[in-house]
A and B are shown apart, each in its own frame.
Chain A
Amino acid sequence: MESPSWAPVEVDVDRPSAARVYDYYLGGSHNFAVDREMARLAVGLWPDLPQIMQANRAFLRRAVRYLASQGITQFLDIGSGIPTVGNVHEVAQAAAPDARVVYVDIDPVAVAHSRAILVGDDRTDVVHADLRDVESVLGDSRTARLLDLSRPVGVLMVALLHFVPAEANPAGLLARYRAAMAPGSYLVVSHATHEGQPDEAGEHTALYQRTGTPMTMRSRAEVDGLFDGFDLVAPGVVFLPSWRPEPGALPDAHPERYSGFAAVGRRR
């Protein structure tokens, strides 16, 4: 169903969007001058940012592969952004050809773009919804068409929850998603933190006030707290590159430089 909002969502290209800025960091051109300007500003203040974003995207890839290795063939990727390269459905379908993926994003441009890219792929679909509107996400007919929630599902909230402020009660939202997930399902989270590089993280947060999606950094303990009702998969909550690194990858001497936590939990 088309979001039945009484007041239509504004498409605002005069403001930077988190999805497009992220695309820029990853070397994509799915962005506008406002996005690039903000990204350059951010990188000026925090030169590690592109590396951090790559590390995040790499974690996403490893996590999806891990889930596939655990037999997960259906994925709900919330806050999916603008598919650039190494998208969830590509990674998942490489591991399991019948894998099905539902992408969800709040950004109307990201959604339109995803739809354009995915035309003709009947194992993927895109839902325009807000993570906080659990009903709209889980109740959407596209979600229902592709995902069988009575069986284990992989729910991805990668680089998403730092866009959910404390007032929106992320723990409460997660509890509602958890309630819809069959035992044996997985939750994948990566989350920006101030624990690695506090100064840069502070400035960065301030910068994101400009976007439609301001940021809330969280501590390791807070991220750990998001997994209530899940058993964390080893190695638990760790900095991005330290989560089950690829074989052959050189160990990073300063994983905290990546300023983001990664974790995967299995629904009890």
Chain B
Amino acid sequence: MSYLEFLGQYGDRILSGTLVTILLTVLASMLAMAIALAAGLMRMARSPIVRGVAVVYIEIFRGTSLLVQLYWIFFVLPLFGITLEKFTAGFVAVGMNLGAYGAELVRGAILSVPRGQWEAALALNMSPAKRMVRVILPQAVVIMLPSWGNLLIELLKGTALVALIAVTDLMFQVKQINGTTFLSAEAFGTALIVYYVLARFMITPFMRWLERVMQRRLGRA
């Protein structure tokens, strides 16, 4: 069977798997960004309790394996009465894991906004929330965008693990094809290429574009 024949026969399944992977990536990214923002801000809160919650969260999700977290969310949480459908469990696990890494990016970026910006905002008598939202965060976003590009590629690659709880993503599909046809090189070779293309030709250009938009908002482009 030539590679073209292979694609002709299994292209549909690879495509549908790819779409599931893209959807997982988009949803997990949004969740990761929301969690990163919340945990990053909580990490800097005045209250030691709030700070503590964020630290524990970040430590647990960065310090343990994504696969174990995925199994916890899918197999263990139901024992406590929280049952998630497998697709949901998949993107929630990936989003929560990468969100913990993102939290440190958020915190680092906020801390690297020059002190003078906080001081100018205080001198204008802005409330702490206004200072953060109107002055600090817009600048922190610009600072952390390049690192988010890398993180989102990690996230995309991380989504491959959800095949292990039978979410029908790209990895799941190629494993199935391999299982029935034993065309391992074709099946896993295609998966490599698709993940690479998604990372390099979709995520990277998208992040570059975002960076340019942000630079323009600073009048720098």
Q: Is this pair of chains taken from one and the same complex? A: no
Interfacial residues, chain A to chain B (CB-CB below 8 A): none
